[in-house]
Each structure stands twice: as C-alpha cells, then as structure tokens.
Structure 1
C-alpha cells in the first residue's frame, strides 16, 4: 500500500524515542520493492530489504545540522529523525533502549550517533538469540577504499577481532593549548614534555600565582587527557580480560604530577564548563592540555574563556621524556548501523555522507573529522581565519595519528569512576593519591559488573 512518509518531530525524551522507534517499523513495513532477507554475505543476516522505505536516524542535538545537509544532498532518501542525549557521559541510554527493542523483536533505529567510542563492545554481541545490533562494515558492505580513508587508528575502538562495527564521526585528539601572548609577557617557554610542564608549574606558582595550566575538575579531563596522555595502564582490555594498574610507573608519575600542581595552585579542580572555572581562569590560562574541540567549546566561546584572536596555539602533545608521543582522546563520536535495517543502501549512503562529506564534515562539523581528507580540509578552514598562531594546523593533524593505542574500550566509561570517587575527594581537599586505590577498585567493580574477567 502507498504510505505518505514524513519526518518525525525531534523528540528529546526517551519515552518518545521508544514509541517512535516502534512506529518506524510499522511505517517501513509498508514499503515497496522488497527483496528477500536472509543474505549473510556482509557478515550478518540481512532483513528483508525495502528499497523505498525511510530510515530512522538517532542523533544528539549537536549533530542535528547533518540532517538538513543530508536531505539537501540526497532528497530521494527519506529520514525519520529523533534527537536524544547521544549516550553522553556514559549514560548507557542507547544500550538500554536497544535492549528493549531486542526484547520486542522490532523498533530498532537504522542509524545511531553516539558520543561513546566503546559502544562496539556491547553492540557487536548477540543478545538472547537476537542478532547483534551493530552491523559489520568491513565484510563487503562498505568499500575497503572508503574505509581506508579514515585516519589510521581511528576505527580501532570499533574493531573487535578484525571486524569493524561502525564508523568514527570525529576525533578528539589532545594537544597542548597555549596562549602565546601570555607566554611572551611572562617570559616562559611552551613545554613539550610532562616533566617540563610540571617544572613550569612551579615557576608560575612562585613568580605569577593565579595563572592556570590545566584542570582536573571533569571526569573526561582526569581520565582521558592526563592518564591516557601519560600512557598510564589504568584502563586496559585484552579480549574479555580487563586490568587497571595504578602502581605502574606512568600511572604513579601522573598521579604525583597532578597532586603537585593542585597543591601549588596551577591546576584547577573546577569543571571547565562551570562558572567557577570561567571566573577563576578568565585571562589566566597560560596553557593546558585538552582535546581539539576545546577551540570552540572553551577558548573561542564568548560565554567561556573567549581568548582574543592571534594568541592561541596548539603545540605537540605532552609526553614523558624519552618516550614517544602517545596522546589521549576525549570523545569523538561514532555512527552505528543497524543489522536489522530494511534499507541498507540508504543507511550506507547516510553513513558515508555523515563521516566524509565536505557539506557536513568540512563546512558544518564542530569537531575534527575522523575521515582523513575531511580532517585536513576542516583544520585548514579553522586555520584560515588567522585566529590561531604557530604550527596549529600541523600539530593538530599530527596528533590525530598519535593517540595511544593502549587504552581500552570496554562496555563502560572511564569517566564514571573518576566522577564518583576522585571529584568528591578533590572537593573535600584530598589528593588523587589519597583515593587512587578506591578509584582503581571502583573501575574494577564496574568491569566485573559488566562481565569482564578482572586482572590487576
């Protein structure tokens, strides 16, 4: 029968999402040009295909501009769009909803954006006899030439035993942001190692108290910027075995460094998104390690630090003396395609556009694209306005390929344990070293709850 399809309203409540997801199945069941299901040539058993059916796409609010860009470029592909929290901060909202659809045997969205790069750990697994939600993309469905276009290493978090279960949207490699004007005024040199960074903090504390060199006031900063960037083995996964070692040399050195800088006053314990940090740090951030997206979210944001043009630069990621650079990564989203989709051609078209098109990734994307050619164009566009100083473009591009591969991607977030244990301790005046063992135990507890074999 003929069905008039239209875009759903962009609901923000998950109750609406669940209903909308089930409704999408009902709608798509009326499509035409159906082809037989059961084909497993792409590494999963395909549903019966309906070439004219719309696809349901879930995005967070930040990714909404991609919808208009895609519809302008592909008016022949019909979308049902829902806005949700993007699985932010390890909320597990996506996993919870997919589990409900698995139980119902219907209702799955065709494409989902998630802010979490560890979703492949659960989305690649069969659940109670129901095929895994995430469809493999490197088993013949997507062209290998297209997949090879991603920045080396960027698909690693989505790769399990050689199978890739999604596409990275953007990267969030960490660099060292510095205010060249302040460095010149105060007579300091931009650090390149963690040792130089700590030594600089002592000089600043003694000679220019009040200036800031970083923050540990957010779960993502403590975990991903500092410990990941220090190549500290506190969050590692080998098959189904999870380990967390806070006594390893790099782990202990980073704990000591952070506690030292908090004590001398150069390391803030306030959230970079809070008013307390803005009041404390306005005009006082000499430099700080942070992800690429700090540009718009923190430094250029008129409601945050609002650093004037011609002052801000991005230096090479900090690393230990004598060791290779191995920087952290703070987010960068992921696109997952449903193995239950009834219009795989449309899903492929959307996924390729979402991750690699100039119309979105170069012209509209808020973060550094994971697709290499788009990433280079995006960063060139950021550099063209004259806002940044130094080797900004080169250092950001280089850092995209320097993310340390030793960090694990289990089915839970590193942020939650830090937020639960470390942040309250810092607020109470304790050090990270005081609660390191409690932090480690909380991480291991979460791993056990998720079914991993735990090894310290």
Structure 2
C-alpha cells in the first residue's frame, strides 16, 4: 500500500493493539501471502513486493529519536513514520511481543526497529508459525560487504546466527572504570587496576571517607553485566540450545562475596543510578564506578544526572581479577534491525547506514559507536574536547577489545531475574549470597520457559 505521509510522524505507543492499528493506517509494509512476494535469492530471503517511495516505519526509544529525526532532515525525499516505544529496555520483551502480533495478522510490521538488547537475534532470525523471520539477513547480498566490514571486530557477533548477520550494532558498551581524579587526588588514592584493588579501595574509603561510593548494585544491568560478566562468572551461558548457569564457579563466588562486603560497608549503594535519589545523594561523591562506555553521555555529561564538571572524570582500563585474563563486561550496545517484510528495502538500507555510520551518528552518539570510522571520530572528539582526564581513547579501545566471550545471548535477558529476585531482596536487607539459590532457579526457570535445555 503506497504511503500517504511524507512528513515525519512521531507517536508514543503504549499498547501492542495500538501499534497494530497505527502501523496499518500508516501504510506499513506487509508481505501478505506468498502470491504478493517474490523469491529474491540474492538477498537470502523472500522479499515483499516493493513499492517505490512507500513510507518506512521506524521504531526507536526516546534516546534514538534524534538520529531518526536527523535522517528525516537529511533525506527529505524518503517518507518516514517515527514511532517511539520502550526500546526493549531492561529485557522487557516488548519488541518480540509486538512483532508476534504482526506475525499472527500477517501484516503491519515496522520496517526498522531499534532495540537496546543484544540478544534479540535469537528469536528475530527464526521463522514463526510459517511466517518468515522478522529480521532481514544483511550479509547475503542485501547490504554491501564493504559497508559491513566497517564495523569494529566482533561488534556484529551477537547478531550473527550460523554465519548470517541479522542486525547492526548501534554502539559498543564495554565496561571501563570511570574515576573522579579530583577526589582520588584529594584523598590520596590510586586508580584501582584489579577487582582486588577495587575492594581494598572500598575498605579505605569506608573507613576514612564514609558517604563516598564506588558504585551501585540497584540496577539489573549493573549487577549482571558490569559485575558478573566482568568477573568471568559463568552464570549466563549458551551452547546451542543448552543453557547453563553456574553460581558455584570460583569467579561467581568471588564476585558475590565482594559485592556483599562492599554493600555492607556502604561503598556500593542500592539506588538506581538513574534515580533522583542517586543524583541528589551521590552525584558529587562518586570516587570511581565501573560502567559501560555510554556512561560518558548518559551519566557524566548529562545535565539531569551526575553532570560532572569538566576535567574531573576519566576512564581507566577495565578491572580484572589479579593474575587472570584482563577481560570486561558489556552493557547493551543497541541494535538496529531491518524487516524482511518491508516494501521499501532501499530506504531501510539507507536508514541503517545513516544510523550507524554517518557524521550525524557520531555527533548524536552518547557512547562509543560500533562502526569503526564513527568510533574513531567519536573518540577523537571526546579526547579533544578536554572534558575527560587521562587517556580516554586508550581506555575505551582497550575495553572494546577485551569483552569476555563466555557470556551467552539466549532469547531472554539476564536482567529480569536480577530485577525480580535480587533487587527486592537487597531492599529487605538480605545479602546476595543468601538469595543466590532463588536467583539461580529464576534464571533456569526463564530458560526453560524459552525452550532451552538447562544444565
């Protein structure tokens, strides 16, 4: 169905039912039945009948809306409908749930979707009840090898299934150690290099400067991806269709014990880093905090969050266990998906390239872009700005090449079990060690619900 809107249309969608209705009215792409499509083997999937100049519907979260609007401004001849949703934040599953409704109706799919999760390819690359996979294969002739090869090594691995790439990484989110140089100098402390150094700093800080902190464990992404992934804790692993979670491994036990001790001495707090209480109580009391690359814009340069003064914050190499591999965790790094059902695949490809590799993608990035040339430009811009102290670029590059490969990417998120079990238990005064059995069982239950064999 040809589109009738050439001006950007932005909506916030609160229910899946509303999404179906709006998508249909906006003239979204539909593959219909087999008679309406053609087998385009050079793309590796069956394409819908292409309609020249048809509107592409783009789903984004609020943080990605500016890049979508920038595409509209830079490409006035491409009709775009921009629709906002939660971005699948916190492993909400909203992306999969909404697409499942369109699969059932056989129409209404969006053309482009941004997800904050890196594990959606596990379901978006699979046929559902006779309906072809939502995510379009990107490296089977649809997008050029020259363009795809421009992504940082390993960036597309989570979206690659049996050698086929189904999504494009928006940004890399390796964990570095953020530190406040002003406070470290004032207190006479060194930047910690290992997890052991980090805990020792917590002990000194608690004794000499109570009220100052080294982080928070009140966010599900922090507890799982920053600490346990960064500790090489094998609590979230996938081997084919077999899922395993080991909280008795020495790395898992060591991290649990460290978090409990630092929580007890007050150097790790329970407030969400995005909460008003965290900003009010701790914005000027963060001595160091392990966190992803996107803390640069989302936390430290954000007027509504820490908003640290220029020349106080630096990024250091990731923490690691003394004498072990120097690896780190990863917190998200959003992904762009193109729909295999789109009636305007040329516009979809144009949007995907713009969102990941354009000058605007660099300018609007709050964290480290996944496209190599964009990443280099962003790092140079940050380094030249004078905002961060130390060797910011080197720390980011080290972290980006050091993400531990032992973490799995099943069709569910590690965050949901932490949010359901650990966060409320901490609020009740329990330790993580006390509720590990319950947390472990919740993870296994979620894996079984998704059809995995658990180990």
For Structure 1 versus Structure 2, the TM-score category normalised by the shorter chain is over 0.9
Contact 1:113–1:334 (CA<8 Å) still a contact in 2?
A: yes
Contact 2:134–2:341 (CA<8 Å) still a contact in 1?
A: yes
Contact 2:109–2:341 (CA<8 Å) still a contact in 1?
A: yes
Matched residue, 2:95: 94
- Separation in 1, partners of 2:3, 2:387: 51
Contact 1:172–1:367 (CA<8 Å) still a contact in 2?
A: yes
Alignment of 1:133-172 (within 5 A): 133-172=134-173
Matched residue, 1:232: 233
The answer for unaligned runs of 5 or more in structure 1 is 30-34
- Separation in 2, partners of 1:47, 1:145: 25
Matched residue, 1:17: 19
- Separation in 1, partners of 2:25, 2:132: 21
- Separation in 1, partners of 2:443, 2:86: 24
Flag the 1:275–1:154 CA change in 2: closer, same or farther, 3 A: same
Q: Deviations over 1:361-418 (max 9, x none)?
A: 1111222211011011112212222111001121112212221111111111111100
Q: Deviations over 1:238-262 (max 9, x none)?
A: 1111111001111111001101111
- Separation in 2, partners of 1:265, 1:128: 51
- Separation in 1, partners of 2:199, 2:444: 29
- Separation in 2, partners of 1:67, 1:443: 35
Contact 1:361–1:378 (CA<8 Å) still a contact in 2?
A: no
Between 1:69-78 and 1:133-142, the stretch displaced more is: 69-78
Matched residue, 1:263: 264
- Separation in 2, partners of 1:155, 1:362: 18
The 3-state SS of whatever aligns with 2:364 is: coil
Flag the 1:2–1:205 CA change in 2: closer, same or farther, 3 A: closer
Are 1:318 and 2:302 matched, yes or no?
Answer: no
- Separation in 1, partners of 2:411, 2:131: 18
Deviation at 1:27, TM superposition (A): 8.0
Q: Deviations over 1:212-268 (max 9, x none)?
A: 011101101100100011111101111111111001111111001101111111111
Matched residue, 2:430: 430
- Separation in 2, partners of 1:245, 1:9: 47
Matched residue, 2:301: 300
Deviation at 1:36, TM superposition (A): 6.6
- Separation in 1, partners of 2:161, 2:84: 28
Are 1:63 and 2:64 matched, yes or no?
Answer: yes
The number of residues matched between the two structures is 449
Deviation at 1:146, TM superposition (A): 1.2
Matched residue, 1:391: 391
Deviation at 1:206, TM superposition (A): 1.7
- Separation in 2, partners of 1:296, 1:77: 30
The 3-state SS of whatever aligns with 1:361 is: helix
Contact 1:151–1:401 (CA<8 Å) still a contact in 2?
A: no
The 3-state SS of whatever aligns with 2:243 is: strand
Matched residue, 1:404: 404
The 3-state SS of whatever aligns with 1:175 is: strand
Report the TM-score, using the length of structure 1 for normalisation: 0.95
Contact 1:111–1:338 (CA<8 Å) still a contact in 2?
A: yes
- Separation in 2, partners of 1:172, 1:201: 25
Deviation at 1:307, TM superposition (A): 1.8
Are 1:112 and 2:119 matched, yes or no?
Answer: no
Flag the 1:3–1:167 CA change in 2: closer, same or farther, 3 A: closer
Contact 1:310–1:388 (CA<8 Å) still a contact in 2?
A: yes
- Separation in 2, partners of 1:188, 1:26: 57
Deviation at 1:108, TM superposition (A): 0.7
- Separation in 1, partners of 2:244, 2:390: 39
CA RMSD of aligned residues (A): 1.8
Alignment of 1:372-387 (within 5 A): 372-387=372-387
Report the TM-score, using the length of structure 2 for normalisation: 0.95
- Separation in 1, partners of 2:366, 2:203: 35
- Separation in 2, partners of 1:454, 1:2: 47
- Separation in 1, partners of 2:205, 2:2: 71
The 3-state SS of whatever aligns with 1:215 is: coil
Q: Deviations over 1:87-108 (max 9, x none)?
A: 1111111111111111111111
